[in-house]
Structure 1
């Protein structure tokens, strides 16, 4: 079952903290929100110390009054369970709830997310505050939904408290049943690591050279994800029991968490926090960087969890804490552009973070719509423009979904294993970026799809795409290989990269030729391989099919391929090094489709060459000419289709339409040469 937000209208909202402001401000704040066409506010996710100032003493009066005021102004409310910020009385009385560094040092009160998921006491106290809130607010007419906690695994996604070690031991015992099975899975015969008693089993602890057992390190991430799911399930069950008429969601997409499983098991839809400047503040030396446009890749990952989702926090101003993350102010039009970036990729409800910039605390530089002075400003006016547009067009867009014929494939095991394994992990980010960048600049919409062994109808989900890119699937099971083979046989084109298929689900390397379970599908084996690192220069490629391709080099890693099937076509060779003339890129037809294997990390020129060989074009190529600085995406259903044009450039962008189209935001007919302003948006019916 698809877990999506289900709205009949695009809706706009904002995060609001009534506890931060004098009560005299509330009425004016809510009135102005409605003037901006906002429908929804999120409150309460950090307010535990106010809701339960002493253990067992609950005071809801402040939020009763705030929610009553919001309801008077016609605002809907999403309530956050406040478990991301345990109060001082709690951590002082029960220090066992605190998370710890790997060396055992406790993280003390003074920040947020300083708890551990596996403390029995913390689970008990979280259940109590969640139940008290859910029962108290179950019938409030303003409340429509609940956000569980806030940004699971943000700030830190590793946990080493004593409760976590104990829970991991129990988790490992459930998974493996016997120490013999655990020792075999973790390969503990190496370096005399064999466990002879369950009490010897811990999460990774400080080691010489800071290098724990890699199979243990992979299971650590699986355990952390399961711990989050257990913790969240407690709250979700309570809310559903006490307030069955409200929806349940949570926000963020952070490491060591299977967000798909989280959503499948307990949420009505997934929510995300969208801050596009995170993609650009580190600076880039590459040619033509995607910058804030790269954030569309993150939104694509969210879309794979919930095709229609909520953006619980949309960047609304310059951002940063007092001591880190210094982001500049959005330029005129950028905030609106980022809002439509979220909408294009599936958001039907967008809440800006936040209504007014905090005057105290760590986030005093994380600016909201209103500045400290609370006077009208450019960002407020821009939000009002979006609100009016949502009101005008929102019924047409809501419920439609993003459409793409190309998808980049991921899976959690390879993500988590790749954090520790430098032989394949860094290749994935490099290749994903190259593919996404070139698909963006060629105006080819692309999805991001997670392979999940427990998912239903996975083959049918893959068959929606003409092309799949699965860059560096080091961990590859026979079951996944069978699924991918069926996809190719049915007509799909599948592209692998170096280091594919050399590990099993335990992270062990089976004694078989690489690429392991897909060697027969690809018709090749890896005869030899080498890392391209240090003083080693990436060898040039020689294209052997389709004429001369772009000048390109085989970067990152080189698998030296041996053709095992006469049906294999060599599409490119290594032109240099001791393996000059050996295959670097191959294609094998299988059924109605094709399996491609590239023995290196993908770069922009290599991606361009492969796209040319595949003949993949923009879906609007026959009627629309658009410069690179504009992102093209399509939201559609069975009856209607809308083409979004987002100009990320600081200069206007000229487009040319060869046929007349209705521009939805302006309500006008356009044809021929049209100019999109800097940071402008067009939506074509």
Structure 2
């Protein structure tokens, strides 16, 4: 049997929970799914108590019938292993599987994700239910793939059960080998924290001052959690790969303390993501200038694309969102759900699965609306999904083999992300600067990638891009610094911000002039630095040509060039370092390395971007207002230009050369009014 290939077609799907609805509704649901253009359903990820109502008592009758109906109506099926929601009999009989708070208090049954990943008992029980499901459904003609668990590390991404403390001890023993090496890595001579036996080692616990662990222990904690999740996922993935090699394996998420790149490389056929653009109404910062709102999800989709060039959206927002205790997200306006669907497709999704088919009438998520309302009557969201379904069938052949195209990348890495959760001298800056750079790029209609750099990253992978932005990589290994040097020597350009290059992978500061491992590449050292807070007011810097004033926020570093190849671009205007250097460019080999002694704003990112003549919109034949996003998917044969209007008002675009719209076959030339939340996919013949 041929394995389902994500790259061979575009598909529309929906999450379905037959266990929540009377059996007599199932066939009608599936008939209407097909009428809506839906060809795939995801089921089962929360149904452990249905599959195994008591230990060892496996029941598949209901799902067998549902799968027969799915196959009858031409629906492909993804089954989720149900390990995110163990049944009550399990947690009652085996309380050791439960997670605990940092205070040591056990978390209890009643929501989801209340278990730990390290309990050998939970490993055994999870393996058993997975094997029973796979053996039962491996030859079912409707089933094409498996989703491991559901949203690893959602709700909670820290684990302090007794099983976790024991597993952490084993993990550090394997990592360091000797207590001497562990004590050195964690700098335990500071404040007399030295360990003299392995039994003294725990995950972070409450200490004076609350949650203030040794920072190097805190960094290793995140590495341990990621390894624990991957080990738990591997138990299930190995079972599926052995018994159902003709089925694909994926999982959904993008939550904290998990190396999703390694997870995907080692265990999955492709990665899946759950896209809810109106989470922007929850996480938005009221102090943020010019926020992107739902358009910001394009940056998150770029992160997903760094894991899988083509991926699945396992849950695409299809209505208002909220639990009974938090009604968070308003209903999409007419056109927004379609816009978000194409936002996902533009960034690399070949399978978009709406969450969910029908709004639940009971449980925690009764206000998390699906395509259908409680009444089951036709509504505008269902009609909008049907329009997307019809369009996807039309454009699938053209787009399925294409990938997102970009010449600029924002670099990230897990070491700095995890270290930066606790180290506020660089962590918050990384997220802010990455966002501000993305604003500058997307509003300039320059597509960009997110690239996670690690020990396996090659020079060829970096050379795909003309410009790299690595805002605040405090942790910088010698090998990564040398890789970046080789990239610039070969003709690439890279931009760094403050707090770069001064830590090793343990989180220790190098005994080197800042920016440590990046001094050779940037051609500078730092005289000193200061946080902008309290007695230090916000400052500005002026470019040498006196044409531009830059905002220097949050942190200021005084840059001292030592190489004759360094050009000073801007100097500070205030404080005791007035007239000293704030922004430099080092001509290094065939390329350049820029260093900015502060945290980036959109304005600063836009200024630096404008200094690169070779970096511009890939569609100079389009004049687009800044509220329009331009995304490009293409291959050797053709490029497709997605024009996405996030505004609640029509936008005027100017097509300077004739082009066709893939969605409507209309020919465009000259000015065109793009309706609010509307989409075009243009190509040139």
TM-score strictly above 0.5:
yes
Q: Which residue of 1 aligns with 2:595?
A: 597
Aligned pair partner of 1:562 in 560, 566, 577: 560
Contact 1:5 1:308 in 2 (8 A): no
Could you tell me how far apart the structure 1 residues matched to 2:90 and 2:540 are? Answer: 61
DSSP-derived class of the 1:469 partner: strand
Could you tell me how far apart the structure 1 residues matched to 2:463 and 2:6 are? Answer: 25
DSSP-derived class of the 2:194 partner: coil
Q: Which residue of 1 aligns with 2:282?
A: 281
**Aligned pairs for 1:427-446 within 5 A:** 427-446=429-448
Q: Quote how far apart the aligned CAs of 1:499 are.
A: 0.6
Q: Which residue of 1 aligns with 2:69?
A: 69
2:418 equivalent to 1:416: yes
Q: Which residue of 2 aligns with 1:548?
A: 547
Contact 2:444 2:626 in 1 (8 A): yes
Could you tell me how far apart the structure 2 residues matched to 1:183 and 1:89 are? Answer: 42
Could you tell me how far apart the structure 2 residues matched to 1:7 and 1:424 are? Answer: 39
Could you tell me how far apart the structure 2 residues matched to 1:168 and 1:442 are? Answer: 47
Q: Which residue of 1 aligns with 2:364?
A: 362
Q: Quote how far apart the aligned CAs of 1:430 are.
A: 1.2
- Deviation string 1:258-288 (CA, Å, 9 cap, x unpaired) is 0000001010000000000112334434443
- Deviation string 1:529-585 (CA, Å, 9 cap, x unpaired) is 10011242121111015x612x32211111111111011000111111101111111
- Deviation string 1:278-317 (CA, Å, 9 cap, x unpaired) is 1233443444320000011110000000000000000000
Q: Which residue of 2 aligns with 1:28?
A: 28
Q: Which residue of 2 aligns with 1:671?
A: 669
Q: Which residue of 1 aligns with 2:659?
A: 661
Q: Quote how far apart the aligned CAs of 1:621 are.
A: 5.2
**Aligned pairs for 1:333-372 within 5 A:** 333-372=335-374
Could you tell me how far apart the structure 1 residues matched to 2:283 and 2:15 are? Answer: 27
Could you tell me how far apart the structure 2 residues matched to 1:496 and 1:519 are? Answer: 11
Could you tell me how far apart the structure 2 residues matched to 1:325 and 1:428 are? Answer: 30
Aligned pair partner of 1:401 in 389, 400, 403: 403
Contact 1:5 1:268 in 2 (8 A): no
Could you tell me how far apart the structure 2 residues matched to 1:463 and 1:325 are? Answer: 45
Aligned pair partner of 1:297 in 296, 299, 302: 299
Could you tell me how far apart the structure 1 residues matched to 2:380 and 2:343 are? Answer: 19
DSSP-derived class of the 1:586 partner: strand
2:183 equivalent to 1:183: yes
DSSP-derived class of the 1:209 partner: coil
- Deviation string 1:190-227 (CA, Å, 9 cap, x unpaired) is 11100001000000001111211000000000000000
Q: Which residue of 2 aligns with 1:18?
A: 18
- Deviation string 1:364-415 (CA, Å, 9 cap, x unpaired) is 0100000000000000000000000001111101121111111100000000
Contact 1:36 1:383 in 2 (8 A): yes
Q: Which residue of 2 aligns with 1:135?
A: 135
Q: Quote how far apart the aligned CAs of 1:417 are.
A: 0.3
Per mean C-alpha deviation after superposition, the further-off stretch among 619-628 and 416-425 is 619-628
Q: Which residue of 2 aligns with 1:164?
A: 164
Could you tell me how far apart the structure 2 residues matched to 1:423 and 1:619 are? Answer: 34
Could you tell me how far apart the structure 2 residues matched to 1:223 and 1:64 are? Answer: 39
Contact 2:586 2:593 in 1 (8 A): yes
Q: Which residue of 2 aligns with 1:225?
A: 226
Q: Which residue of 2 aligns with 1:100?
A: 100
- Deviation string 1:231-254 (CA, Å, 9 cap, x unpaired) is 000000001111111000000100
Contact 1:4 1:307 in 2 (8 A): no
Contact 1:82 1:149 in 2 (8 A): yes
DSSP-derived class of the 2:329 partner: coil
Could you tell me how far apart the structure 1 residues matched to 2:511 and 2:534 are? Answer: 29
Which consecutive residues of structure 1, in runs of 5 or more, have no partner in the other structure? none
Could you tell me how far apart the structure 1 residues matched to 2:404 and 2:4 are? Answer: 13
Q: Which residue of 1 aligns with 2:483?
A: 483
Q: Which residue of 2 aligns with 1:321?
A: 323
DSSP-derived class of the 1:7 partner: helix
Could you tell me how far apart the structure 2 residues matched to 1:643 and 1:128 are? Answer: 47
Could you tell me how far apart the structure 2 residues matched to 1:175 and 1:244 are? Answer: 33
Could you tell me how far apart the structure 1 residues matched to 2:348 and 2:304 are? Answer: 9
Per mean C-alpha deviation after superposition, the further-off stretch among 616-625 and 204-213 is 616-625
Q: Quote how far apart the aligned CAs of 1:622 are.
A: 2.6
Q: Give TM-score scaled by structure 1 length.
A: 0.98
Could you tell me how far apart the structure 1 residues matched to 2:155 and 2:456 are? Answer: 29
DSSP-derived class of the 1:280 partner: helix
Residues 108 and 487 of structure 1: CA distance in aligned 2, closer, same or farther (over 3 Å): same
Aligned pair partner of 1:330 in 332, 340, 351: 332
DSSP-derived class of the 1:205 partner: coil
Which consecutive residues of structure 2, in runs of 5 or more, have no partner in the other structure? none
Contact 2:320 2:367 in 1 (8 A): yes
Q: Which residue of 1 aligns with 2:469?
A: 469
Could you tell me how far apart the structure 2 residues matched to 1:355 and 1:254 are? Answer: 24
Could you tell me how far apart the structure 2 residues matched to 1:666 and 1:144 are? Answer: 32
Contact 1:358 1:367 in 2 (8 A): yes
Aligned pair partner of 1:381 in 372, 380, 383: 383
- Deviation string 1:50-100 (CA, Å, 9 cap, x unpaired) is 100000000001110011111000000000000000000000000000000
Per mean C-alpha deviation after superposition, the further-off stretch among 112-121 and 512-521 is 512-521
**Aligned pairs for 1:229-240 within 5 A:** 229-240=230-241
Per mean C-alpha deviation after superposition, the further-off stretch among 588-597 and 533-542 is 533-542
Contact 1:532 1:555 in 2 (8 A): yes
**Aligned pairs for 1:569-580 within 5 A:** 569-580=567-578
Q: Give TM-score scaled by structure 2 length.
A: 0.98
Could you tell me how far apart the structure 2 residues matched to 1:311 and 1:552 are? Answer: 39
Could you tell me how far apart the structure 2 residues matched to 1:68 and 1:533 are? Answer: 64
Q: Which residue of 2 aligns with 1:268?
A: 269
Could you tell me how far apart the structure 2 residues matched to 1:496 and 1:285 are? Answer: 24
**Aligned pairs for 1:184-203 within 5 A:** 184-203=184-203
DSSP-derived class of the 1:561 partner: strand
Could you tell me how far apart the structure 1 residues matched to 2:6 and 2:649 are? Answer: 36
DSSP-derived class of the 1:365 partner: coil
Contact 1:5 1:309 in 2 (8 A): no
